[in-house]
Amino acid sequence: MNLSKTVFGNVHSIETFGAFDGPGIRYVLFLQGCPFQCQYCHNRDTWSYEKNKQMTADEVLSDFEKYSHFYRKGGITVSGGEPLLQIHFLIELFRKAKERNIHTCLDTSGGSYHTKNDALFMELMTYTDLVLLDIKHIDEKKHQSLTKSSNQPVLAFAKLLDQLQKKVIIRHVLVPTITDEEEDLKHLRRFLNTLTNVVGIEVLPYHKAGIKKWNDLGYTYELEHISEPTKDMVKRAEAILMNDYLFLSLLK
């Protein structure tokens, strides 16, 4: 008798032709539920922990195989919401994906990381090829104001990934007047300088594409008055965060 319990993922949605979340064309699985409440979230409908589409790892991989000719230079990315909330499902999915030689990428805010579960996080990392880690704000108070949560788990997770020498791309959403202060960007750069596993840094310009979802769900979008950053603002932030940065490829 097989007593092992089937692990289900609580899936928000699936994108079969993702071009922005990892290398190549990717199958992107968005999981339901998020511990953060980012003011600029463009996936407001992923926050709830309610039961949505339930899928096993085998079901996800069978679906992936239907479009596998697209993904020869890509793979599978799990995003959210916050995928690490469903770490048991993630371990199962990425373990099975690696058995099929599929490139695996985790897109996370790191918000649910806790050292007490290090063994699980480390197990997941043995099956993960690349992590896209969002650092929403380096300043604790401003992070709390932006996301209603602490940035301590995020920074601790970044350090664990460094310790494991897991390849990571750091992402920072640039929101004028909120996440683009020069001092904060320099502070973030100092933190990034302590890491030796970074393969890329991406400054993502804030955009308002998510407002409709907030309105449709009956919530107030508090950043309506904030403009999207100009190209010069993005270039300035990129210069602070990336100029002469020692990426992993340069360190080896």
Binding site for ligand SF4 (CB under 6 A): 34, 36-38, 41, 43, 46, 80-82, 109
Instruction: Compare residues 82 and 184 and give the one whose CB is closer to ligand SF4.
Output: 82
Shortest Cβ 4–ligand SF4 spacing (Å) = 31
Shortest Cβ 79–ligand SF4 spacing (Å) = 8
Instruction: Compare residues 71 and 83 and give the one whose CB is closer to ligand SF4.
Output: 83
Strand partners, 10: 54
Shortest Cβ 201–ligand SF4 spacing (Å) = 18
Instruction: Compare residues 75 and 80 and give the one whose CB is closer to ligand SF4.
Output: 80
Q: What is the DSSP string of 103-168?
A: -EEEEE--TT--GGGHHHHHHHHHT-SEEEEE---SSHHHHHHHHSS-SHHHHHHHHHHHHTT--E
Shortest Cβ 42–ligand SF4 spacing (Å) = 7
Exposure class string for 146-165: b at 16+ Cβ within 10 A, else e: bbebebebbbebbebbeebe
Q: Are 27 and 14 in contact (CB under 8 A)?
A: yes
Q: Are 91 and 120 in contact (CB under 8 A)?
A: yes
Instruction: Compare residues 44 and 103 and give the one whose CB is closer to ligand SF4.
Output: 44
Instruction: Compare residues 103 and 171 and give the one whose CB is closer to ligand SF4.
Output: 171
Instruction: Compare residues 67 and 219 and give the one whose CB is closer to ligand SF4.
Output: 219
CA–CA distances in Å: residue 107 to residues 133, 220, 223, 226: 6, 26, 24, 26
Shortest Cβ 148–ligand SF4 spacing (Å) = 9
Q: Are 76 and 29 in contact (CB under 8 A)?
A: yes
CA atoms within 13 A on the CB side of 22: 28
For residue 174, the SS3 value is: strand
Shortest Cβ 43–ligand SF4 spacing (Å) = 5
Q: Look up residue 246 and give its DSSP letter.
A: -
Shortest Cβ 36–ligand SF4 spacing (Å) = 4
Q: Which are the contacts of 46, defined by CB distance < 8 A and separation ≥ 6? A: 12, 30, 31, 32, 33, 34, 80, 81
Instruction: Compare residues 72 and 148 and give the one whose CB is closer to ligand SF4.
Output: 148
